[in-house]
A and B are shown apart, each in its own frame.
Chain A
Amino acid sequence: MSAEKLDALFGDLRDADNPVGHAAILAADERHEMLAEGERLLDAYGMNAEFVPAAYGGRLVRADRLAEVQRAVWRHDPCLGLGYGFSSLLGSVNIWSAGTHEQRTKAAEILLGGGRIAVVFHELDHGNDFAHAECAAVPSDDGWRLTGRKETVANLRRAEAMVLFARTSEVAGSRSHSQFFLTRAELPADRVLDLPRFPTSGLNGVQLGGLRFTDCPVPGTAMLGRPGQGIENALRAFQLSRAVLPASVLGSLDTALRLALECVHERRLYGGFAADLPYVRAVLARVFADLLAIDAFCGVGLRALHLAPEATLYAPAVKYLTSRILMEAFEDLRAVMGAQGYLREGSYAMFQKLLRDAAPAAFSHISLSACLVLILPQLPRLARKSWLADQAAARQLFDLDADLPPLDFDRLAVGMPSGDGLIGVLAETAERESAGSPVGRFAVRFRDEVLALRDQCAALAPSDLTIGASPEAYAVAGRYTVLLAAAAALAVWRGDDRQQEAALLGILDRLSGRLGGAPVLTPDERASAEQALFDIAVERFQDRRLLDLSARRVSG
Chain B
Amino acid sequence: MTATRAGAGIEAALDEALGMLDETARRSVELDENEQFPADLCSRLDAFGLPARYVPTEWGGTSSDHEELIRLWRTAARRDISAVTAHAKTYLGAAPVWIAGNPEQARVIADAVLSGAPVAWALSEPGHGADLLSGSVTATAEPDGYRVDGVKWPINNATRSSHVTLLARTGQEGSGRGQSLFLVDKSALQPGTWRSLPKVRTHGIRGIDISGIEFDGALLPADALVGPEGSGLETVLLALQLTRTMCTALSLGAGEHALRLAARFTAARVIQNRPLAERPFPASVLARSAALLTAAEATSLVAGRSIHSLTAEMSVTSAVAKALAPTLVDATLGELAELLGARSFLSDVYEHGAFQKVWRDHQVVAVFDGSTPVNRAALVQQFPRLVRGFATGTADAGGLAEAVSVGSPVRPVDRGALTMLSRQGCSVVQALPALVESIGSRPTPTGLVDQAVALGAMAEYLHGRMAEVAPAARPAMAAYELAAAYELCYAGAACLHVWAAGEREHAAEPLWQDGLWVRAALRALLARLAVFLRVPVPAAGPGDDRLDGALARLVVDAATTGAPITPFGAPAPRTLQQGEDSRER
Contact = CB atoms under 8 A, between A and B. Distances in A.
Contacts of B371: 335, 338
B475 A279 contact: yes
B154 interface: yes
A159 B522 CA distance: 52
B272 A467 contact: yes
A399 to B, nearest CB: 34
A224 interface: no
Given A149-B585, A200-B345, A279-B477, A342 B128 contact: no
Contacts of B131: 268-270
A359 B371 CA distance: 23
B548 A279 contact: no
A412 B274 CA distance: 31
B423 interface: no
A338 B345 contact: no
Nearest to A463: B280
Interface stretch (A245-253, A298-306, A361-369): A361-369
Contacts of B127: 267-268
B284 A471 contact: yes
A338 B367 contact: yes
Contacts of B337: 359, 363
B133 A470 contact: no
A369 B338 contact: yes
A268 B281 contact: no
Interface string B308-338: 0000000000000000000000110010011
Interface in B138-165: 154
Given A199-B348, A268-B131, A342-B363, A363 B341 contact: yes
B385 interface: no
Contacts of A359: 337, 344-345
A342 B202 contact: yes
Interface string A276-296: 111111110000000000000
A342 B271 contact: no
Interface in A234-290: 267-271, 276-283
A268 B279 CA distance: 50
A517 B536 contact: yes
Interface string B260-288: 00000000011111100001110010000
A454 B449 CA distance: 32
Contact of A267 (B128, B273, B537): B128
Contact of A339 (B154, B373, B473): B154
Interface stretch (A65-73, A103-111, A124-132, A545-553): A124-132
A467 B478 CA distance: 38
A268 B134 CA distance: 9
Interface string B169-212: 00000100000000000000000000000001111100000000
B477 A124 contact: no
A505 B40 CA distance: 55
Contact of B174 (A125, A271, A278, A342): A271
A495 interface: no
* Residue of A131, A201, A278 with most chain B CB atoms under a 10 A cut-off: A201
Sorting the interface of chain B by its residue count into under 10, 10 to 19, 20 to 34 or 35 or more gives: 35 or more
A343 interface: yes
Contacts, number: 173
A277 B480 CA distance: 11
B372 interface: yes
Interface in B459-503: 473-478, 480
B47 interface: no
Contacts of A338: 129-130, 367, 371
Contacts of A343: 154, 200-203
B346 interface: yes
Interface string A428-451: 000000000000000000000000
Nearest to A266: B127
Given A267-B127, A338-B130, A363 B345 contact: yes
A359 B368 CA distance: 23
Interface string B508-541: 0000000000000000000000110011110000
A530 interface: yes
Nearest to A471: B284
Contacts of B202: 342-344
A112 B364 CA distance: 45
A145 to B, nearest CB: 21
B124 A345 contact: no
A277 B364 CA distance: 22
A316 to B, nearest CB: 15
B82 to A, nearest CB: 13
Given A278-B474, A344-B203, A339 B345 contact: no
A341 B377 CA distance: 20
Contacts of A201: 345, 347, 353, 356-357, 359-360
A122 B281 CA distance: 23
Interface in B524-565: 530-531, 534-537, 548
B333 to A, nearest CB: 10
Nearest to A362: B338
A471 B281 contact: yes
B304 to A, nearest CB: 24
Contacts of A283: 477
B342 A327 contact: no
A374 to B, nearest CB: 14
A259 B109 CA distance: 42
B345 A202 contact: yes
A342 B477 contact: no
13 contacts: A126-B271, A129-B272, A152-B342, A199-B348, A200-B345, A270-B131, A279-B373, A335-B366, A335-B373, A342-B204, A352-B203, A359-B337, A363-B341
Interface of A: 122, 124-129, 131-132, 149, 152, 198-203, 208, 267-271, 276-283, 327, 331, 334-336, 338-339, 341-345, 352, 355-356, 359-360, 363, 367-369, 467-471, 474, 513, 516-519, 523, 527, 530
The 7 closest A-B pairs by CB, nearest first: A282-B477, A201-B356, A471-B284, A344-B201, A352-B203, A129-B271, A519-B534
Given A269-B128, A343-B202, 11 more contacts: A129-B272, A132-B272, A198-B348, A200-B347, A282-B476, A339-B154, A341-B367, A467-B271, A467-B281, A516-B530, A517-B536
